[in-house]
Copies of this chain bind each other. A is one copy, B any other.
Amino acid sequence: MALPHASPGQPLDVRPLGGRLSTGKTSALFKSNDLEVMRLVLVRGKSLPPHQVLGEITIHCLEGSLEVELDDKTVRLEPGELLFLTGGATHGVKALSDASALVTVALKS
């Protein structure tokens, strides 16, 4: 499914939300054949329970602090840090402060 705001060749705003962070919502930026990119928004204390996706992913922290719970360890992500996870890796994400991150998923056809 192509999202309406998914036009190739059209710049998308992925700057930190700043003052709009506490009322921001997780949103898909685009989903195409090979890639899906979304902005994950979590206010302090909120979390995504451990889950898996088929393809490899990157989580790029844009603002705030995130804790990513993996099978064998817990990783803290600060703004400007990027985490790469293999396909199928179980991961949960918790916001240590209001936070947003860019999540890129390699889609498996």
Chain A, 97-109, contact with B by CB distance < 8 Å: what is the 0/1 string? 0000010101110
Q: Which of B32, B83, B84, B86 contacts A84 (CB 8 A)?
A: B32
A-side interface size class: 35 or more
Q: How many copies does the complex hold?
A: 2
Chain A, 1-15, contact with B by CB distance < 8 Å: what is the 0/1 string? 000001011111111
What residues of chain A have their CB less than 8 Å away from a CB belonging to chain B?
A: 6, 8-16, 29-30, 32-35, 37, 55-56, 58, 60, 70, 72-73, 75-87, 89, 102, 104, 106-108
Kindly list 5 other residue pairs between chains A and B, CB separation below 8 angstroms, not including A8-B89, A34-B56: A9-B73, A9-B75, A11-B81, A11-B82, A32-B56
